[in-house]
Structure 1
Amino acid sequence: MNWVEIKALHKLYTNGEVKINQTLDKSPVFKNHQNALEIERGRKSFTRNDIFLEVYERRYLKDYEKYAAFLEGEGLLKPQLRFNKNDIDLLIQFKQGIANGSLLTRRNELEEAQESVRGFSHMFFKNDKYLDGKTLLIDAINTIFDITLVDNKSQQYLYVLQCKDPNLIILCENGNFLNRDKIPRANGYELWYAGGRNIPKLEYTHQIRRGLPIYYSGDWDKDGLEIFELAKQKISDLKLLLPNGISKSINATDHKSLWKYPEAPERLSGLKPKLYNEEKTLLIIELIKKNHWITEEGNNLKVMIENYNS
């Protein structure tokens, strides 16, 4: 049973009805209760009877309250959350183990060994590939243990699009621009791709910069700007390029990076205000108000550089 099913069962308990979605349509949990407890299935929703109330309170209510409190406390209650029950139980055990000290030695060993995602998965989950692609779960583990598990992809070197006579460097959040060499090479832009959030390696780039100015190009969403802030901790003179692409609806594009505090856009989604000038601050506020984002690949590198230096 995953969090979508757990949450839906609770909504059925509290509201008497829950809309059928793709997950619930295929859910063995709902199918079993439908047969055993006479949950009624309509065309668009499930409804419950009094028998369900008694069974839910006996079998599920305490777990829901425990899980909801934990997930909210860890800042994990997001629309895209799909953790299963065993995952949540294990995260709670991790949190308790760190708090009571029983996992501190293991935590220090993981940090010292620069443990990988797959190595951690092999230790604690059913196989070494269990965590592959489960970004939210990996982020939760990193937060609880206060470590950074090494990605299964290489962490130790940059992907670089070189040119004959570079006059500046652009650090790209995504790899898209590195596959489009015409504009950067024609204009003397050397492009670096560190791999999204995988930026610890930037500490070792001083010599290979050759004194060139360096700029950051990325998605203008919560994640992209958070990555900029992390990268700026490693490269203090990193300059943020202002996008020139057209913003898109986060909902319409089924985008997964959601702004925090949409009810208070002036909080800049928890970003650090001192890193953004007035023009960039106003753009972030506008994007939050509209619930929009701007993709990195929708921008023109040359125009961004020219606008920055004009």
Structure 2
Amino acid sequence: MKRELQWRHFKALNQLYINQYTNAKITDNGYIANVLITQKKLLKFKSGNNKIIEATPKYLSFYDQNFKQDFEQYTRFLQAMDLEDDARRKYTEYDIQTLMFISEYKDELLKNLTTIRIFSSEVFKTHGSKYLENKPGLKSAVCKILGIDDFPDKDPKNHQWRLVIDSPAPTAIILCENIAHLKSPWKIRETGLELWYVGGNNIGIIDFISPDKLKFPIYYSCDWDFHGLSIYSRIKYKMKQKSVEINLLYPYVLDLAIPVNSDHHNSNWNFNIPLSGLNQADYKEREAKLINQLIKENKWIEEESMDILELFKYNTSS
């Protein structure tokens, strides 16, 4: 079960780590209730008092491995940005990671600042174009980080950002359709991988990859839907002009496929033409087989549902 925690949950889990108990109301969260309490039995209610949750001995090592680094990163960031970090903040982990991303790429984002709805749909991709408008506290934090009073009313003519997790000594380059993979840079920088965001209309960024980096293996990670795979074909063509090969990262768990009509998803298959109109020559046999299966079932696989490091490892392990 994927963890979907709010900041108050992180604060309470840290309190459990420090004090071995908390009276915070956190069992409303499915991950905490179903995974940490019921399945793994890392937390338990105090005997005779269901308002207090206690940590079991195994919780400490689990917290060290799964939460400690993230909590410390988030705390330092919120304090450095002078954003309130008490448990009353309704930031989700996704929100905090996105705020960190905005801070990291502030100068680049400001160069071609878009309207709030375009900004929301691209930077808060999986949450839709009205996400920021509906969360005034989060919008205020975004504006504070960017140093703006509000978003512009019109989009710039040339809307293109260089959003990259650079590596001083890269071993491979991954081009990502989904901006979410760039939101935990401290995890990526330990690996020697370099990530470039090429989603939406941002594929022109490929022209800025220096020739010396094109000698490294290059991979593409995307949503397995018509839109994401169409971008792959466009990128593959661009790379071919540079005499560079690019490989598509194949999903490591196929049962992650979800219906095409899921929330905030606007890419549909064309059932009337082979491979939905995608260029058959761009895909290996098993890739084309998976695409046809997704078309038949009218499903897609969301890039963000997969861990980028696990995805890379799955596709490159011998």
TM-score class, shorter: 0.3 to 0.5
TM-score by length of 1: 0.47
TM-score by length of 2: 0.46
